[in-house]
Chain A
């Protein structure tokens, strides 16, 4: 069974731009969660989608958004990028929220 796939692996953007990250979950997993990982803050929860609906949301500004498609694939978007948005963005899928997550390798975003 294929794991969670995230694309792209690396991204370099400049301040003010926007970016879209993609995630393909494990087949059969309907829950997709996104986390931001930085050296000082660990893994911070962004949002969780289940059957195309956002069910849980973390404490991030509205510049961070996401969506889930009918095939469970998910995208997250960050608009008006700031230097502090530089981080590893991790996508994870699971059978249900609040239980074992299977993580992708992440997208490393650098904002210059």
Chain B
């Protein structure tokens, strides 16, 4: 079946560094991709999304890159801060179906 996975379960960076979190997806029919951040004791919070007709989208300190050729998605966080420490999930979807989530990457930021 289709699944969305992340390459690394954990990522440790220093404050001020740029972070890159990767995600591989398998369903070539997916036309929508999204990143969430989940802090301890809270539900996932939306970070940024991208549709399959785009390769890149930027937000505040975050950039999502989509490579449909190799079915790869990445989240780049610029100037990582301690408040960015959390679990990050990618998800894929198509209109009318459920969003399917990967298992998550835990980002730890040390100061």
Contact = CB atoms under 8 A, between A and B. Distances in A.
B17 to A, nearest CB: 26
Interface in B60-111: 89, 91, 93-104
Contact of A98 (B41, B45, B96, B102): B96
A104 interface: yes
A-B residue pairs, 9 tightest by C-beta = A103-B43, A98-B93, A42-B103, A43-B101, A45-B98, A56-B98, A98-B97, A98-B95, A103-B44
Contacts of A35: 101
Contacts, number: 63
A99 interface: yes
Size category of the binding interface on chain A? 20 to 34
A70 interface: no
Interface residues of B, number: 24
Contacts of A4: 43
A100 B87 CA distance: 18
Contacts of A103: 36, 43-45
Contacts of A97: 93, 95-98
A100 B101 contact: no
Contacts of B93: 97-99
